[in-house]
């Protein structure tokens, strides 16, 4: 991973880290995808582009601006950010169509596998002076039929109170606000953390220039990221949002779903908030038969 500890929180630095992270998990290469699929998908993408050029009478100045921007987005390492913000939500929508259990949503560019293993009753790794409202996030993992899934895994990652992710912004401990929690014998977990802040996608790089040029905003609502899994069950990658939070209704990444909005109340111990959210995992049986 790029040594960003000494660098600024720039688009180029988080872009480089996100690109590096993607390369380590990459699922497929263009040469692994069926020739007819590549032909169909790329041909239709090009035809759609040609139609836009004709319909809007795109000029050479606009064509050159696009070309310059595409060159820059590669140089900035911002392809993971661009794709995860503006394209991934539809790929996830299609992938999630066959799911009966908990809703998923986009993974985004900032997952890092191998977070510290934590017990069912856990506090996420954080700085001694970690800013933010304490949050007790608890719940249960079951199958679609309601059977608890003992030993289910809740892999959680989130931004801090300034909207920064460890390993992708400078100056944060490596696993800050990241953990892999194993549920107890009844599928229950109780995770102490802090509420994340809304997150602004880096504004100083190519994605930022596009947002400024189009007159959009750069915000994602505050969110917890999760990957929940159990043996014999389909892993769900999801995010949870906070009712009434800014940009829940106009997430730049279009990743909010009504089922994913938490409404935390005051914590029983008087420290911050608490909320319960149960996960329902689809069995892999249906996939095996498909």
Q: Is 221 in the site for Fe ion (CB under 5 A)?
A: no
Least separation, in Å, of the C-beta of 52 and ligand DHB?
24
Q: Which of 17, 73, 85, 141 binds ligand DHB (CB under 6 A)?
A: 85
Q: Is 199 in the site for ligand DHB (CB under 6 A)?
A: yes
Residue 192 contact partner, candidates Fe ion, ligand DHB, none, CB within 5 to 8 A by sort of partner: none
* Nearest CA among 70, 123, 106, 63 for reference residue 221: 106
Q: Pick between residue 197 and residue 275 the one whose CB is nearest to ligand DHB.
A: 197
CA torsion angle for 193, 199, 201, 204 (degrees, to 10)? -100
Q: Is 196 in the site for Fe ion (CB under 5 A)?
A: no
Q: Looking at residue 76, what DSSP letter applies?
A: T
Q: Which of 110, 241, 242, 277 binds ligand DHB (CB under 6 A)?
A: 110
* Nearest CA among 136, 138, 235, 238 for reference residue 192: 136
Residue 85 contact partner, candidates ligand DHB, Fe ion, none, CB within 5 to 8 A by sort of partner: ligand DHB
Q: Looking at residue 148, what DSSP letter applies?
A: B
Sign of the torsion angle spanned by Cα atoms 222, 5, 84, 70: positive
The stretch near ligand DHB (CB under 6 A) out of 19-27, 57-65, 78-86, 94-102 is 78-86
Spatial separation of the C-alpha atoms in residues 164 and 183, rounded to whole Å? 27
* Nearest CA among 163, 56, 148, 166 for reference residue 110: 166
Residue nearest to ligand DHB (CB): 108
Q: Is 108 in the site for ligand DHB (CB under 6 A)?
A: yes
Residue 278: how many other CB atoms lie within 10 Å: 14
Sites of contact with ligand DHB (CB under 6 A): 81, 84-85, 106, 108-110, 199, 201, 220, 253
């Amino acid at each position: 991973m790029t040594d960003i500890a000494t660098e600024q929180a720039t688009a180029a630095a988080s872009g480089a880290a996100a690109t590096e992270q993607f390369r380590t998990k990459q699922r497929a290469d263009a040469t692994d995808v069926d020739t007819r699929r590549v032909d169909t998908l790329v041909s239709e993408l090009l035809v759609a582009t040609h139609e836009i050029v004709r319909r809007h009478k795109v000029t050479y100045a606009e064509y050159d601006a696009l070309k310059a921007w595409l060159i820059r987005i590669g140089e900035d390492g911002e392809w993971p950010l661009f794709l995860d913000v503006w394209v991934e939500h539809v790929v996830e929508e299609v992938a999630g169509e066959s799911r009966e259990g908990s809703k998923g949503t986009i993974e985004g560019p900032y997952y890092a596998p191998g977070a510290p293993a934590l017990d069912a009753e856990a506090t996420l790794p954080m700085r001694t002076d970690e800013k933010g409202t304490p949050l007790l996030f608890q719940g249960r993992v079951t199958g679609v039929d309601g059977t608890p899934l003992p030993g289910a895994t809740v892999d959680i990652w989130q931004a801090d109170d300034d909207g920064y992710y460890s390993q992708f912004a400078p100056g944060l401990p490596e696993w800050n606000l990241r953990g892999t929690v194993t549920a107890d014998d009844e599928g229950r977990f109780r995770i102490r953390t802090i509420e994340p802040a809304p997150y602004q996608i880096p504004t100083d790089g190519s994605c930022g220039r596009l947002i400024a040029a189009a007159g959009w905003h750069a915000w994602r609502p505050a969110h917890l990221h999760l990957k929940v899994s159990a043996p014999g069950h389909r892993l769900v990658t999801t995010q949870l949002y906070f009712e009434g939070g800014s940009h829940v209704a106009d997430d730049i990444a279009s990743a909010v779903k009504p089922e994913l909005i938490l409404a935390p109340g005051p914590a029983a111990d008087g420290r911050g908030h608490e909320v319960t959210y149960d996960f329902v995992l689809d069995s892999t049986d249906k996939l095996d038969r498909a």
